[in-house]
Amino acid sequence: MDDLKNKYLTAILQAGDEATLEDIRLQAVGKKGEVALKMRELGKMTPEERQVMGPKLNALKDEINSALAAKKVALEDAALDARLAEEWLDVTLPGRGRPQGTIHPISRVSEEIYAIFADLGFAVAEGPQIEDDWHNFDALNIAPHHPARQEHDTFYMHRAEGDERAPNVLRTHTSPVQIRTMLDQGAPIRIIAPGRVYRSDYDQTHTPMFHQVEGMAIDKDISMANLKWVLEEFYTAFFGTKVKTRFRASHFPFTEPSAEVDVQCKWENGTVTVGEGDDWLEVLGSGMMHPNVLKSGGIDPKEWQGFAFGMGIDRLAMLKYGIPDLRAFFDSDLRWLRHYGFSALGTPTLAGGIHG
């Protein structure tokens, strides 16, 4: 018994790898190992011999298993030490950089617009992009024969066969939000209505879907002078320089009087700079809200009056950041977004403020 013990303990001690150790385990305590064979011989012994040999064989088996387990741990530790000696990591090296996403110029400009108008006391209102005919046209004093209601300018939704109601439309402006807000909140009121709008048009400065922001302020003593001040404050804050505006008489069904608004600019080498020079660039339409529009919103035009304006967010982004083609906003080329995109850390907040 002692010879068997010394044989296997010595072999275990001298094992150089786990494969050799496994062979020793099978030879010693496997199902066909020497210790297992001796355990089977217990059946041929007398009870007195079994009482002597049984405990000895169990003790031998336990001792060999313990030696095997200890040697396995030692071999694993040695393998790890060898690997650590060969492979090492310099923890003082800088980490591997990961490419960061950027904020789309439309999102950036939208946030700038929200922040500036918030400082001017305007809340943000939203509405559905699929509108009914009344909110999109009738409530805004747009006549049935107006060109804007034709299919060459507006996307109409299909009605089921037999449904005689006027078809819904993809909203052509965010003006319906003004009607909905007036009906919900009444006067006085001061809001901007940003969002996607849709028109059947496509070229370098027009796309079938674009982003618009409209503004509205209603009170008892509001005038065109208030409108001019708000717009000049906005453009000065947005472009970061004093911006002069010029109002030109125009016509819109939903305002009376109506005006198209130009900003002072300079053209040089095919680029435009806002806030300086002797040229002018049209940027939006505006005016005093038509009495019929106020009535549609449930507001008495004999007691209240207000101004409204609307401008394209996409075009503002083009002007401020020198983007030459409106269609590029919808390009899937990531190189474009890496060039024109903005770091998330640079997103404007309401804390930025403007100063008049």
Binding residues for Mg(2+): 256
Q: pLDDT by residue (tens digit) across 261-286?
A: 999 999 888 788 898 889 999 999 99
Lowest mean pLDDT segment, chosen from 115-124, 282-291, 306-315, 337-346: 337-346
Phi-psi region of 285 (alpha: psi -120 to 50; beta: other; left: phi over 0): beta
Contact between 279 and 267 under an 8 Å Cβ cutoff? The reply is yes
Distance CA 288, CA 308 (A): 6
Does position 352 have pLDDT exceeding 80, yes or no?
A: no
Q: pLDDT by residue (tens digit) across 200-234?
A: 877 666 788 889 999 999 999 999 999 999 999 99
Contact between 292 and 142 under an 8 Å Cβ cutoff? The reply is no
- What letter does residue 93 receive in the DSSP assignment? S
265's enclosing H/E stretch is strand 255-268
Structure tokens at 143: 């006549």
* Helices assigned H by DSSP within 123-214: 133-136, 175-185
Q: pLDDT by residue (tens digit) across 187-199?
A: 999 999 999 999 8
| pTM of the predicted model as reported, rounded to 2 decimal places | 0.66
| Type of residue found at 36 | A
pLDDT value of residue 356? 33
Contact between 289 and 254 under an 8 Å Cβ cutoff? The reply is yes
| Residue whose C-alpha is closest to residue 280's, from 250, 248, 246 | 246
CATH code of 103-342, in short, is 3.30.930.10
